[in-house]
Every structure is written in C-alpha cells, then in structure tokens.
Amino acid sequence: MILLLTGCINPDGMALTKLNDKEEREKQYCNAIHYYLHNTKFPIVFTENSGTDISPLFRDATESGRLESLTFVGNKDKIRGKGYGECEIIEYALNNSKFIRTAQDKRIIKITGRLIIRNIKKIVRLHYLLFPLDSILCAINSDLSFPDSRLIIAQSDFYRLFLQSKEMINDSAGYYFEHVLCDTIKKEKQFPYAPFFIIPRIEGISGSTGKQYNSESGGISFIYRYIKRSLTQLIKFKEKYR
C-alpha cells in the first residue's frame, strides 16, 4: 500500500484557488510529509506539478527508500482548474513512481498533500478488515452526487480508469474532479464502494476557500450518528448502483 501525497507548491494564478502563497504552501506540504514519515510506515510518494523540487529537504528519507519525491511542470491550462491539475499529478505518479510500479500491494491512499489525517492508520486498518481489498473508499454526500476528494483509497487500476475521463474536468465550467470521480465509482462495478465508518480527522487549510479544517473525533453520540449515516449511505449506494 502506497501513500500518495499530491502537491502544487506554486499555483501561479490557478482558477478558484484562494491559498496562493508559495512559501506557506511549501511549509504545509513539508509539515504533512514529516507527519506521515514519523507517524506511519507507508511508503510515501509526494508528487508535485509546479516544477518545485523539495527532495533536498528530505534527503535522509529519500535515500533510505521511505520517500519518493517527484516533480514536473503541469497546470498549463489553468482555466480547467486545480481538479484537472490533481488528475495530472495522479497520472504522473502512476506512470513515473518506482514505488507504485514495484509495489506488490497496488492500493493507493491518495491524500491532498498539505493535509494531515491524524487517524489514517485506524481508517486503513478498520476498512480493510470490513471490506474487500479492491474496494474504493471515500466519503460521498447524502444524495450520492459529490464525493470528498481529500482522501481516496483504491487500487491503482481504479485510478487509471478514472483518469480516462479527466478531459471532462473544467472547474470554470462547474464540472469538477469530484463529479468525474463520482461517475467512475458508480460505473466501475468491479470495484466495490464503501464509505468511511471512522470520520477522518483532517487538519489543514482548504486551497479553494482558505478556511481551516479541524475535524474532531466527537463524543459517543456523534460517533453513533456518523456510523449510522455511513451505513445508510452504503445501503443506498448498493441499492441504486450495484
């Protein structure tokens, strides 16, 4: 299983992006990488699409074979927005990462790279006890129309199928990464879908709005309501799409 952190240190005028400060963005990516290096055992692939190489800041981790840092120049069509750029990052990682190419376990945990998910180990451990290894794991809203793309766990083959529709994405026209992701989850029936039964504890700042994320675990009643909602979502999804 590979942890894929997607990054864009210099958005350089990207459409619908509030957080544009390069130094602040780089600091957030570095903080997240440090967190995952010290708090998980997953091999980490950080893939960045503005041509900014931060691998010298993590020389020990790269030389030890724990971290792979890739960078390329993407985002050439900024009108399409950061969702299209995210697709380019995933595609570049799938095609160029040695970690992904040589991994026996082809599951990829895709996380927006500036964000820290405090309970990622518990999420992975629980959901692969409950669901098949080829499952697609992500949160989807109540009417099953819009998934949360900050955290997706799926097989590399699923990501490749998803990327076949990336040219449809255009943030300026109101058709986002999440719309294509949702359509692919519904269409590709060979991959079972499952929501999260543990709420991801996400910390960081939204690149789109500039607002702070701070997801708390909540009390017993909150946890019960969340699990009940997730179970309802799963039943509804299976009835409608499987």
pLDDT digits (tens, 9 = 90+) for 131-160: 999 999 999 999 999 999 999 999 999 999
**The residue to which tokens 């701070």 are assigned:** 214
Q: Kindly provide the b/e burial profile for residues 14-53, where b requires at least 16 CB atoms within 10 angstroms of the residue's own CB.
A: bbebebeeeeebbebbbebbebbbeeeebbbbbbbbbebe
Euclidean distance between CA atoms 48 and 51, whole angstroms? 7
Cross-strand partners of 112 = 6
Q: Which CATH number fits domain 2-241: 3.40.50, 2.120.10, 2.40.30, 3.90.550?
A: 3.90.550
Q: Considering the chain, what percentage of its residues have pLDDT values greater than 70?
A: 95
Q: For the segment 85-119, what is each residue's pLDDT rounded down to a tens digit?
A: 999 999 999 999 999 999 999 999 999 999 999 99
Closest CA to 87 of 144, 152, 22, 17: 152
Using pLDDT thresholds of 50, 70 and 90, give the confidence band for residue 220: confident
The mean per-residue pLDDT over the stretch 5-23 comes to 79
Answer for the pair 14, 82: CB distance below 8 angstroms, yes or no: yes
Q: Crossing angle, helix 82-96 and helix 177-187, to 10 degrees?
A: 60
Measured distance CA(107)–CA(171) in Å, rounded: 28
CB 116 within 8 A of CB 35: yes
Query: Do residues 137 and 194 touch, judged by C-beta distance below 8 A?
Result: yes
- The CA distances from residue 141 to 112, 144, 194, in Å, are 19, 5, 13
Sequential DSSP letters for 154-208: EEHHHHHHHHTTGGG-BGGGTB-HHHHHHHHHHH-TTS-EE--SS---EEEE-TT
Residue with tokens 């991959």: 191
- Judged by DSSP in three states, 31 sits in helix
Specify which residues 205 forms β-bridges with.
Answer: 212
Q: What is the mean pLDDT of the chain?
A: 92
- Summarised one tens digit per residue, pLDDT across range 19-74 is 778 899 999 999 999 999 999 999 999 999 999 999 999 999 999 999 999 999 98
